[in-house]
Structure formats: structure tokens, C-alpha cells
Structure 1
Amino acid sequence: MENFKRSIWTHLDNKDMDALKKLVSQAETIEILDVMRELSVEEQAIVYRLLSKDKALIVFEQLDLYLQQTLLASFTEEKVIEMISELAPDDRVRLLDELPAKVTKKLVASLSPEERKETALLMGYEDETAGRIMTTEYVRLKRDYTAAEAVEKLRTHAQDKETIYTIYITDDSRKLEGVLSLKELVMASPEQKLEEIMHKKIIKVSTGTDQEEVARTLQELDLLALPVVDKENRLVGIITFDDAMDILEEETTEDIFNKAGLADLNSRESDRSERLVNGSLFQIWKVRLPFLVITMIGGLMAGVVIEAFEEALEAIAAVAIFIPVIMDMGGNAGTQSSTIFARGLILGNINTKKFMRHLGKETIVGLSMGVLVGIATGVIASTWQGLPELGIAVGLALAITMTLATTLGFFIPFVLFKLGIDQAAGADPIITTIKDISGLLIYFILVTQFLGYLL
């Protein structure tokens, strides 16, 4: 896999499109999917356009929604319409649900009458129901077919179906009467009627069944697909096992966020992460540069603080030795806290409705660690420099700075989260800026108080 990636990047760098086309044409779908996630937007478009039509469709259907949208943005309008029309009905609706309403309306209007009818049918059902996520591409046969006739029908129509491993038996009005597997059909005598070998006891769901219930049923009963029927027991679609696994992943993640009171955090943080990793240079600048500017301004202000206490530094050179210790320990404590907050938020261990309780505990943790580190460092400073008062100033400064840093490590990300600002990019620069300025002020004030007689 790594050799394949290196070859892709080499051909892209050398602009050797012929070699690149040959490489991707011989590659497995999983290899292409893996490398697509690591390419820039422009490189993704180049690689995708070199795929054969059939392989391109397979790859597109298995890409994340964000990557699908990114690729569509790089296509011409004609290419977008072509891609949308070739998608399976359920995949098409899944993508259209994520596009702006005006774009969706225009794309639906561009579909053929049959495709438009299929799409409108699925989009007419409520979100997160079986009807919304089912596909209309299934195998439906009549009970009076012989096994030989059924196999011939499969041979003729199988290419356009989502799966042929499960076969559904209906009457002329599409009422579901039975089900059998492909294995059972192939093993049957050619002259046997389907009504003789089909199972009349059918596990099915209705169009209004919750999608999570559907997925759990597929998982627990180890089924490849589930038929979806309307109120009149007419077969209208099926839901396959691979779709069910996607649903379970989404629902499990959503449940975690709901428990933490973060119903919409998942998709928001996912989109931000995609932008920061795979977005354009301008998109990344827009998120990260403002916070780095804040850090730069904070650094300059810290310089102003040091300048204000220049006399103390000149009079007692030993004071400067412990500045890095105080700033680094505060920085490390703040980073630990912000990381713990982010992980706790994502995993549902932090309930935002009870945030003050979490903040209080983290402050106590910061104080306890600050006292321990402060005492140890204070003793070392006092012994090393022979100035007990300097040891006290260093110890107290560390205790206060680390307590403040851990508190900020929880509080700043929480405020950014509530304001809808990207905490991943913004928390640490803000924490560092406040901590550096306040830490230096605290240290120099304590030095002035305890060593003022030497100035």
C-alpha cells in the first residue's frame, strides 16, 4: 500500500499522467480510497478523472460525504449530473441530503423520469427511517417461476441490482409473499417452482421503522438484507448489511454525543477536522492564523512585562534562571488540561450541563500538582542559589501559575465550544498567551515582595 502511495505522488510530482492512469487502472478500489484521503483537493480531482467510468463510480460511492462534495465541486455541471444519475438511489439521496437545497432541486430536476421518481420516493420518507435509507435496486420474482426461469432472470437483471444474494417473491401488485437465498435457488431442481422452496415466514421492516432498529436487526440476525414494505405489505425496497454497519457507526457516535449534551458536535467537529487536514491553504489559514497572531501579541506583551521588571533582573541575575521553568510548567499543565477536556468532550465523559463541577475538580487537580511541583522546585532554587526567599517566590509562582493554567485549560475550550469557535485550533494559543503574561507578572511581583531588600 505504501509503495502504491509513493508511486502516485511521484507521478503527480512529475506530471506523468500516462503512468498515473496506468497505475490507477490496475489498482484495487481499497488502494485508491486509501490514497484519495491523503491527497489535496486538486490531486484528488486529477486521480479521479483518470479512473475508468465503472471504477470511478465504485470509488465515489465509497468515499466519505465530505470528499464526495469536494470532488463534485471540481466537476463541470454535466459531470455532476452524470455522477448523480449513476449513483444507487440510496447513495444518491444520502449525498443530496448534504447539498444546499437549491443545488439538490436542480440536480433532481436533471435526472431521468425514472431516476427522479426513485429519488423523490426515498426523499419523501422521514429522516432516519428505513424508507429514507433503503435502495430500490433489488431482485423481485414471482412465485410461479421455476428455479431455471429464476436463474435466467437473475442472469439478465443482476448487474443493475444492489445484491442478488437474497431474492424476494411477490405477487403482481408487489405484495411480499416469500424470500429465498441465492444458494437455495441454485441448489433447487430446475423445474421446481419458487413457491415450493421459498420461506413464507419473512423478517421485514416498514418504511417508518427507525434506521437504528433496522441496523440492529440485520446485525443480530446476521442477515445480508432486509425487505422494506409499505402499509399494504408491498415491497418498496431493501436495506443491505453494509448500509446497516454505516448506520450503527453513525448512531453509536451520535448516542455518545447526546449523552454529553452535544447533539450536533459530531458533524461540526468532523467538518472542521476535514477542513484543517484536507482543506485549501486559505481555509487552513483562516482557522489557524488568527490564533497564532494572538500568541504573537501575547509574546510581545510578555516582553513588556519582563522590561518592566528589568531592574530586578539586573540586580538579581538568579531570577532569570527560573523564568523558563515557570512558563514551561504552566504551559504543560494547560496543554494537559485542554487535551483532557477535548477527549472527555468527544467521548461523552464531560457533561456540559455540569461543567462547573468538572472545572472545580480540574482546578483542585491543578492546585495539588502546583503545590507539589512548587515545593520541590522551591527547595531546589533555595539550595542552589542560597536564597531562601527566591525559593519561596519560585515555589509560590509555580503553584499559582499551574493552578491558573489547568483552570484555563478547561475553561477556554469550553467557552470556544459554546461560541461555536474551533477549539482545536484556538484553545492552546489563547491559554498560552494568558498564562505567559499572568505567570510572569505573578513571578516578578513575588520576587519584588520577597527580595525587595536586594533591589
Structure 2
Amino acid sequence: MVVPQGSLGTWDWKSIVSNMFPLLIVLSIIVLWAGVTLESAEEMLEEVAILAVMVPTMVDMGGNLGAILSSRLSTRFHLGTTELDPRDRVLWANVAAVLALAATIFTALGVGAYLIGVLFFNSAIGLSTLLFISLVSGMSVAVIAIVFSFAATYGSYRLGIDPDDTTIPIVTNVVDVFGMVIFIGVSALVLGF
């Protein structure tokens, strides 16, 4: 695939601002949803303080995983080495790497939360429960990050917008919101809130 010159081949601050400003307004409104979700879960987070400790890492890591994949996809588009063909082994290797990284990170989050809970909060939540919450939430967020990474990168490219300008804000914001909603939902279901 050859990357067409034009809007993808040049750097123009006016086009970046005109493309990004409306997008950032929409994304800001979407992120408000995460804040509303967090606010609605305040009682649960106060009662089970270790969950509040997990929130920043849970939300941040989902967006980071999506940013990693989006960057790799954008680079491949710019180099002309991808067409998002389902038979492309490199694409599947990138997806597998993101999932493996997610499994590692969210396992470490569950174990770390358990240790912090035991040492500082006298938490009664067991390791298996925290691992379950962390892994189910985290792997769900990783899958959403993968889907939005592909959609944002391919959509930007098809619209003639440089994916480097749009994918990271789209993926990180959307995945942050879904990360918060999924984490709160899984925690509430598992702990009976």
C-alpha cells in the first residue's frame, strides 16, 4: 500500500487544529461519563478502599495498551506495510503482544492490590477475588482497546486524516471511559454492590 501524499504526507498546523478541536470537544464530553460513573460508585469505593487504589492503574493501562497498538498500526500505514488484512501475521502478532502485556499488567495489579490491602487497609478481599476483578476488567478493556485502535487508525486513514494526530486521543479517552465503567461494573457484581 502506498501512502498518498496530501493531507497524510504533510504537516500543517491548521489542518491538525481543524481536525482535532471538534474531536477533543467530543472526547471531553465522553470522558465526563467516566467521572459520573466514578461518582456513582463513591460508596463502594469508600467501603472497599483497595478498589479505589486500583482505579488509576486500571484506567491508565487500558489507554496505554490502545496507544501502543495505535502507534504500531499508524507506523505500518505510513510505511505502506499494512492493509488490515486478516491474514497479516504481523497484525495478529501485535494483537497477541497487547493481550499478553495486558494479562501480565493486570495480574500484577491484582497481586499488588492484594498486598497493599493486607499491609495498609486490613482488606478482607482475597487474592483470588482481586485477581478475578483485575483480570476480567483488564482483559475486557484490552479487547476494547484493540477494537478502537483498529477502528480509529483505519477510519482516520480512510478519511485522509493523519492517524498519528487522531488515534491516541480517541483510543485513550474512549478506553479510559470503558475501563472505568467495566471496572466499576465487574467490582460491583463480584462484591455484591
Instruction: Determine whether 1:371 maps to 2:103.
Output: yes
Equivalent position SS for 1:270: coil
Matches within 5 A, 1:40-119: none
Matches within 5 A, 1:301-312: 301-312=33-44
Tell me what 2:67 maps to. 335
Tell me what 1:268 maps to. 7
Cα deviations across residues 122-171 of structure 1 (Å, max 9, x unaligned)? xxxxxxxxxxxxxxxxxxxxxxxxxxxxxxxxxxxxxxxxxxxxxxxxxx
Higher strand share: 1
CA separation of 1:412/1:451 partners in 2, compared to 1, >3 Å: closer, same or farther? same
Partners of 1:393 and 1:421 lie apart in 2 by 38
> How big is the alpha-carbon RMSD for the aligned residues of Structure 1 and Structure 2?
2.2
Q: Which runs of 5+ in 2 are unaligned?
A: 119-124
Preserved contact between residue 45 and residue 52 of structure 2 (Cα < 8 Å):
yes
Preserved contact between residue 294 and residue 429 of structure 1 (Cα < 8 Å):
no
- Name the aligned partner's letter for residue 437 of structure 1: V
Q: Which has the higher contact order (CA 8 A, sep 6+)?
A: 2
Partners of 1:356 and 1:377 lie apart in 2 by 33
Cα deviations across residues 388-432 of structure 1 (Å, max 9, x unaligned)? 223421233222223322342233111221233342222222212
Equivalent position SS for 1:267: coil
- Name the aligned partner's letter for residue 444 of structure 1: I
Tell me what 1:350 maps to. 82
- Name the aligned partner's letter for residue 5 of structure 2: N
Q: Which runs of 5+ in 1 are unaligned?
A: 1-259
Shift of 1:380: 1.6
Tell me what 2:45 maps to. 313
Instruction: Determine whether 1:405 maps to 2:137.
Output: no
Shift of 1:348: 2.4
CA separation of 1:407/1:329 partners in 2, compared to 1, >3 Å: closer, same or farther? same
- Name the aligned partner's letter for residue 288 of structure 1: M
Partners of 2:17 and 2:152 lie apart in 1 by 21
Output the TM-score relative to the length of structure 1: 0.38
Aligned residues: 184
Output the TM-score relative to the length of structure 2: 0.82
CA separation of 1:343/1:378 partners in 2, compared to 1, >3 Å: closer, same or farther? same
Shift of 1:364: 2.6
Tell me what 2:180 maps to. 440
Preserved contact between residue 111 and residue 130 of structure 2 (Cα < 8 Å):
no
Preserved contact between residue 381 and residue 390 of structure 1 (Cα < 8 Å):
yes
Instruction: Determine whether 1:414 maps to 2:154.
Output: yes
Partners of 1:356 and 1:422 lie apart in 2 by 25
User: Whose Rg is larger?
Assistant: 1
- Percent of paired sites with the same residue: 25
Higher helix share: 2
